[in-house]
Amino acid sequence: MIEVLRAGLCDLVMDLGRPGRGALGVPAGGAADQAALAAANGLVGNNEAAAGLEVTLMGPLLRFPRGAVVALTGAPFAATRSSGAALAWNETLVLTAGETLSLERAETGCRCWLAVRGGLTMPPVMGSRSTFLPAGFGGHLGRALHAGDVLPCGTPAGAMRVLRARTPSNAQGAPLQVVAGPQAGQFDDAGLLAFFAGTYRVSAASDRRGLRLRGPAVTHAQSALPSQGVPPGAVQVPPDGQPVILGWDGPVTGGYPVVAAVISADLPRLAQLRPGDAVRFVTVELERARALAVAPWEIEELA
C-alpha cells in the first residue's frame, strides 16, 4: 500500500485508458504519455497497462509502510527518499519498509509517472483504473489524491530485476508537427499565416481536457459545422480565433473547425507543456507523420 502524507498539485491514478467508449461520450483518457507510463511499469516488472500515478508540476509526499519497488519516468522532478538522497529517473528503485518518497517541483516539463511493483489496484471502471476528472469516476474516488488517502497495491509476480530505461528523443523546443485538419479549407490565407507563423503561449486555463493557447487570432469562415469526432491532438479554433489543442480527457465530438492535428509522434510533448510555454506549429505530410511514429523506450538490465 501507499500512504499519501501530502498531496501534490494534481496526482491522478492512471493506466492506458478506456478506448472504445466514445459512443458513450467517454474519451479514452489514460496517461498523458502512455509510453512513459508503460516504461515505468516495465522497470518494476509490471504489465505495461498496470495503473500508476501521473504527477503534475508539484508532487506528493508518499510513504511505503511495507517497502516497494518503484520507478519514475517523464519530466524530472526534485525528488528525495527518507534519507534525503536524490532519486534517479528511468531506473528501478528499491524502497525499504517505512520509507518515504518526496516529489517536489518539476525541474523541467510538466508531468512525471510513478509505477510501483504490483500496480495500483483500485476497482476498474469501464475496464480501466484511470481517473476521469470531468465525470468524477475511476482512479481513487474519481478525484486527485488528498492527504490521508491510502492506495492499494497488487502482489508482485516473478523475480525482481534492476533495470534502466533509455528515452526516445522528444525534440524539446521544436515546433509541434501537425497534419492538415478536416476544415483546413475554411481558413483564409491570413488565418493560416497567423497559425503557422505565429508563436502562442499555453494559457493557465489549460488542463487535461485541452491546452488553450493565446496568440495571433486564426480567422476562418463562420459557416455552420455539425459535430464531428475529435481525437486528442486535434487543434480546434473557436470564434475568438484562439486555438485549443484537445487533450486526453477532452470531448469526443466538437463543433468548432479543426485546422490541424498534432501527429502521434509529438503527442507526448503535449504532456510536458506548462502554462506560459511557447508553442509553434509546422505542417508535415501524412506519410511523414506515419514514418515518425513514436519510438518505444528501450529497457536494459543493469549489471
Q: Look at residues 45, 67, 1 and name the one whose alpha carbon lies nearest to residue 160.
A: 45
For residue range 69-119, what is the model confidence (pLDDT) as tens digits?
Answer: 999 999 999 999 998 999 999 999 999 999 999 999 999 999 999 999 999
Q: What's the pLDDT band for 186 if we cut at 50, 70, 90?
A: confident
Comparing 215 with 226, which gets the higher pLDDT? 215
Residues forming beta bridges with residue 51, ordered by sequence position? 120
Question: In this model, does residue 202 exceed pLDDT 90?
Answer: yes
For residue 125, the 8-state DSSP code is B
Q: What's the pLDDT band for 225 if we cut at 50, 70, 90?
A: confident
- Alpha helices by DSSP H, listed for 21-110, are 34-43
When the pLDDT of each residue in the chain is averaged and rounded to a whole number, the result is 92
Name the helix (H) or strand (E) containing 99.
strand 99-106
Q: What proportion of the chain, given as a percentage, has pLDDT over 90?
A: 80
Q: Which residues contact 55 (CB under 8 A, 6 or more apart)?
A: 8, 10, 11, 77, 103, 111, 112, 113, 114
For residue range 22-59, what is the model confidence (pLDDT) as tens digits?
Answer: 888 899 999 999 999 999 999 999 999 999 999 999 99
For residue range 160-178, what is the model confidence (pLDDT) as tens digits?
Answer: 666 676 666 666 678 999 9
Mean pLDDT, to the nearest integer, of 263-279? Answer: 95
For residue range 3-23, what is the model confidence (pLDDT) as tens digits?
Answer: 999 999 999 999 999 999 988
For residue range 131-159, what is the model confidence (pLDDT) as tens digits?
Answer: 999 999 999 999 999 999 999 999 876 66
C-alpha grid cell, residue 292? 515518425
